[in-house]
């Protein structure tokens, strides 16, 4: 008997089949269980890979980041002072990135606390899949999804940006906002973004870089002392993007924050 529900870009780690979404949730047509990482959040972490011993974004640091980035006037002031950038441009880019047609899908990785849809995501017509390694951040994202009535449009899963639980060529866009400076293995992440994007699909986002000009490069240099903060330079990002097949690569550095997009 065919299993109910429509296929999603998400895949089952046991058999590789696309997971299907029905009103009762996400399921594998071959009956493999799909665990939960919290209420309304699926656990699609690679089963043969250890999860980090410390969920850094589950600490007060994660709370502070999440509160700041989702309190837009505060984020605008802080980003202006700390990184020399006007983040209203970042929020506009998020809104634009979510505007894909009905029937197609967008991946937001790392989704964090749901920053991309925290203000309601009116342009979202397709399916948004948010993947992050932190169950605490994903729980925040789930609360914002409920507050905005987006339960039918947003799927949340614990997963690894460097080994995504998604089928090849399954999404129209990949959003990667403020993620590449905390993801150590950027090669693996970019290779995964390329793999899951449909031909002609687009990667876009923002990242803090090490060459933002004075005094912001100094701030980034200090933040670099935290072992989880691993920014590259804008030149390194451009060459990585090229190496992983991204064409029409555009990047623009404003202060220490680099805005990028490529196909």
Select the residue whose beta carbon is closest to ligand SAM and give its number.
112
Residue 148 contact, options ligand SAM, Zn ion, none, Cβ 5-8 Å cut-off depending on partner type: none
Q: Which is nearer to ligand SAM, 178 or 234 (CB)?
A: 178
- Among Zn ion, ligand SAM, none, the one that 35 touches (CB under a kind-dependent 5 to 8 A) is none
Can you tell me the distance from the alpha carbon of 137 to that of 61, in angstroms, rounded to the nearest whole number? 11
Nearer to ligand SAM, 34 or 208 (CB): 208
The interface mask with Zn ion, positions 16-35, x = CB under 5 A, is ------------x-x-x---
Q: Which is nearer to ligand SAM, 20 or 110 (CB)?
A: 110
Binding at 57: pick from ligand SAM, Zn ion, none (beta carbon under 5-8 Å per type)? ligand SAM
| DSSP characters over 35-49 | -EEETTEEE---TTS
# residues near Zn ion by CB under 5 A: 6
Residue 164 near Zn ion by CB under 5 A: no
The one among 8, 11, 12, 100 contacting Zn ion by CB under 5 A: 12
Do the beta carbons of residue 142 and residue 41 sit within 8 Å? yes
Minimum separation from the CB atom of position 194 to Zn ion (A): 25
Measured from the CB atom, the residue of 20 and 186 that comes closer to ligand SAM is 186
Site for ligand SAM, rule CB under 6 A: 57, 65, 69, 110-112, 115, 132-134, 137, 160-162, 177-179, 182-183
* 20 or 145: CB nearest Zn ion: 20
DSSP letters for the chain: -PPSSEEEEEE-TTT-PEEEEETTEEE-TT-----EEETTEEE---TTSPPPSS-GGGSHHHHHHHHHHTSHHHHHHHHHHHH---THHHHHHHHHHT---TT-EEEESS-TTTGGGTT--TT--SEEEEEES-HHHHHHHHHHHHHTT-TTTEEEEE-BTTB-SB-TT-EEEEEEES-TTT-S-HHHHHHHHHHHEEEEEEEEEEEE-TT--TTHHHHHHHHTTSTT-----HHHHHHHHHHTT--S-EEEEETTEEEEEE-
From the list Zn ion, ligand SAM, none, pick the one residue 91 interacts with, judged by a Cβ distance below 5 to 8 Å according to partner type.
Answer: none
Minimum distance from residue 214 beta carbon to ligand SAM (Å):
23
Nearer to Zn ion, 81 or 168 (CB): 168
Shortest-Cβ-distance residue relative to Zn ion:
12
- Which CB atom, from 29 or from 163, has the smaller least distance to ligand SAM? 163
Q: What is the closest distance, in whole angstroms, from the C-beta atom of residue 221 to ligand SAM in the complex? A: 18
Alpha carbon distance 106, 173 (integer Å): 5
Q: Distance between CA 10 and CA 17 in Å, rounded? A: 9
Binding site for Zn ion (CB under 5 A): 12, 14-15, 28, 30, 32
């Amino acid at each position: 008997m065919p299993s109910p529900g429509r296929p999603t870009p998400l895949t089952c780690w046991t058999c590789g089949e696309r997971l299907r979404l029905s009103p009762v949730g996400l399921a594998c047509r071959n009956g493999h269980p799909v665990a939960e990482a919290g209420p309304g959040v699926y656990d699609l972490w690679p089963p043969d890979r250890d999860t980090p011993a410390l969920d850094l974004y589950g600490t007060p640091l994660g709370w502070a980041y999440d509160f700041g980035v989702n309190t837009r006037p505060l984020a605008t002031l802080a980003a202006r002072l700390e990184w020399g950038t006007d983040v209203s441009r970042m929020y506009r880019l998020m809104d634009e990135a979510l505007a894909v047609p009905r029937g197609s899908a967008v991946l937001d990785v790392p989704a964090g606390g749901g920053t991309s849809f925290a203000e309601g995501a009116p342009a979202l017509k397709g399916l948004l899949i948010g993947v992050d390694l932190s169950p605490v951040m994903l729980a925040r994202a789930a609360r914002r999804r409920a507050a905005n009535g987006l339960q039918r449009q947003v799927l949340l899963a614990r997963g690894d940006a460097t080994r995504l639980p998604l089928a090849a060529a399954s999404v129209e866009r990949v959003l990667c906002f403020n993620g590449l400076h905390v993801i150590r293995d950027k090669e693996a992440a970019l290779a995964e973004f390329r793999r899951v994007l449909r031909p002609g699909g687009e990667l876009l986002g923002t990242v803090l870089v090490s060459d933002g000009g004075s005094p912001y490069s100094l701030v980034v240099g200090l933040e670099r002392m935290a072992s989880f903060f691993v920014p590259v330079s804008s030149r390194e990002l451009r060459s990585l993007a090229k190496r992983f097949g991204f064409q029409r690569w555009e990047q623009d550095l404003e202060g220490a924050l680099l805005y990028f997009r490529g196909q």
